[in-house]
Chains A and B, each alone.
Chain A
Amino acid sequence: MNWFLNRLCMVLVTALMAAGAMMACSGTVSTQSSVAHTTAQTLNRAQPVWIHAMQDEATNAVNQVCPGDAGNCAAAPMRAAADAVFARWSPVVAAWEGTRIAHDAWRLQLERCRADAHASGCEGPALDSLSLALLSATQQWRCAVRSDAMRRPDLDPFPGTPACPLHPDAGVPADGR
């Protein structure tokens, strides 16, 4: 059910971000603000899904080293197993934080433009580049969960296979080969 809701939300985000890109062309700060607002709401709801998956993997790794409730296992091997899982997920975390930073840049500029419509950077192309930066960051996150190290395309709520220039094995190569 979570997966379904997540997928549904992300399809809506795609439509909203597409609308945002369109609105950027017309320079409508108010409408882009609406898109940025809803995008954040939706991504915030999607976040716990992949973090829960990461925690599950770490818990399973610990349980493999020490099955059951023994209570007399050595801590170091369990910690090493858990740390290996968290380290493997670090590119996914970094890509998510990159998405957040891209959203922050867009949001803060929009707030600036809402306060003063004549402020610099409130022109259509400037806002357009910020919304496209968010799309780029989202794409990097999709590629991160699909990378060879992760192999978790099930966590990517977008339909289709992304183009991943840095991880050709993770999706369709950017040059289409």
Chain B
Amino acid sequence: MADKTNTAAGILRTTETILKGVGSTSALPQPWGFVLSALEAAAGLAADLMDRGLDPSIKIQEMRSALPAIDAARAEVDDLIAQKSARR
């Protein structure tokens, strides 16, 4: 467990250092050049962390759509409008 924690912390430190460094330059070679740079430096650490892979019994999590939450936000704003115009 301590090894995993150290590896994760190492990835964070390395990646953040690189991203900050690349972000300070005026030009990037390509839109995600920063990721490729991070890849080179974090590769060793990331390989250790990722080596375990995902348990075959676990489905890969879906990324949630923003649309239901946006509908809910709109509904709350609509409620506010209704309150402010209720006595009209």
Is A170 an interface residue, CB under 8 A from the partner?
no
A34-B53, A37-B60, A97-B65 known; A73+B77 contact, CB < 8 A:
no
Q: What's the least CB distance linking A148 to chain B, in Å?
A: 19
Instruction: List chain A positions with a Cβ less than 8 A from chain B.
Output: 8, 11-12, 14-19, 21-23, 28, 30-31, 33-37, 39-41, 43-44, 47-48, 51-52, 54-55, 58-59, 62, 66, 69-75, 78-79, 82, 86, 93, 96-97, 99-100, 103-104, 107, 110-111, 114, 132, 135-136, 139, 158-163, 165, 172, 174-177
Could you jot down 26 A-B contacts, CB within 8 Å?
Answer: A11-B15, A14-B35, A15-B42, A16-B46, A18-B43, A19-B47, A31-B52, A33-B60, A37-B60, A40-B63, A40-B64, A41-B61, A44-B63, A58-B77, A62-B80, A66-B84, A66-B85, A69-B84, A74-B88, A86-B70, A111-B60, A114-B56, A136-B32, A163-B30, A174-B28, A174-B31
